[in-house]
Structure 1
Amino acid sequence: MAALASSLIRQRRGGPRDAPAPRASGPARAPAAARPPSLCQRQLRRLVAKVRDCGRGRRPREKPPEPQLRGAVARLRGGHGHFLQMGPDGRLEGTREEPGPATLFNLIPVGLRVVAIQGTRAGRYVAMNGAGLVYTSVHFTPECRFKECVFQSSHVLYASALYRQRRSGRAWYLGLDRHGRPMAGPRVRKDKAAAHFLPQLLEVALYREPSLHEVEEPPGTPPPPGTPPPPPDDL
Structure 2
Amino acid sequence: EESKPQLKGIVTRLHSEQGFYLQMLPDGTISGCKDENSDYTLFNLIPVGLRVVAIQGVKAGLYVGMNAEGFLYTSDVFTPECKFKESVFENYYVIYSSTLYRQHESGRAWFLGLNKEGIIMKGNRVKKTKPCSHFVPRPIEVCMYKEPSLHELEEKLLKSSRSPTLNSGRARSLDRPARGSAHSSTEREAS
Rg larger in structure: 1
Larger RCO, structures 1/2 (Cα 8 Å, 6+ apart) = 2
- Residues 218, 120 of structure 1: CA spacing in aligned structure 2 closer, same or farther, 3 A cutoff? closer
Structure 2 match to 1:190: 128
For the pair 1:138 / 2:76, whether they are aligned, the reply is yes
How many residues are matched? 157
CA distance in 2: counterparts of 1:127 and 1:195, whole angstroms: 16
Indicate conservation of the 8 Å contact 2:77/2:156, yes or no: no
Structure 1 match to 2:101: 163
CA distance in 1: counterparts of 2:114 and 2:3, whole angstroms: 39
CA distance in 2: counterparts of 1:169 and 1:147, whole angstroms: 15
CA distance in 2: counterparts of 1:132 and 1:147, whole angstroms: 15
For the pair 1:106 / 2:44, whether they are aligned, the reply is yes
The one-letter amino acid of 1:120's match is: V
Which residue of 88, 101, 105 corresponds with 1:150?
88
Seq. identity, % = 57
CA distance in 2: counterparts of 1:147 and 1:66, whole angstroms: 25
For the pair 1:77 / 2:25, whether they are aligned, the reply is no
- Residues 67, 83 of structure 1: CA spacing in aligned structure 2 closer, same or farther, 3 A cutoff? closer
Q: TM-score w.r.t. structure 2 length?
A: 0.79
The one-letter amino acid of 1:170's match is: R
CA-CA distance at 1:216 after TM superposition:
3.1
Structure 1 match to 2:161: none
1:5-154 to structure 2, matched below 5 A, reads: 65-66=3-4, 68-154=6-92
CA distance in 1: counterparts of 2:36 and 2:142, whole angstroms: 22
CA-CA distance at 1:81 after TM superposition:
0.5
Structure 2 match to 1:206: 144
Indicate conservation of the 8 Å contact 2:3/2:146, yes or no: no
Instruction: Note the residue ranges of structure 2 that are not aligned, 5 or more in a row.
Output: 158-191
CA-CA distance at 1:79 after TM superposition:
1.1
- Cα RMSD (Å) of the superposition? 1.6
Instruction: Give the 3-state SS of the residue equivalent to 1:216 in structure 2.
Output: helix
CA distance in 1: counterparts of 2:3 and 2:152, whole angstroms: 24
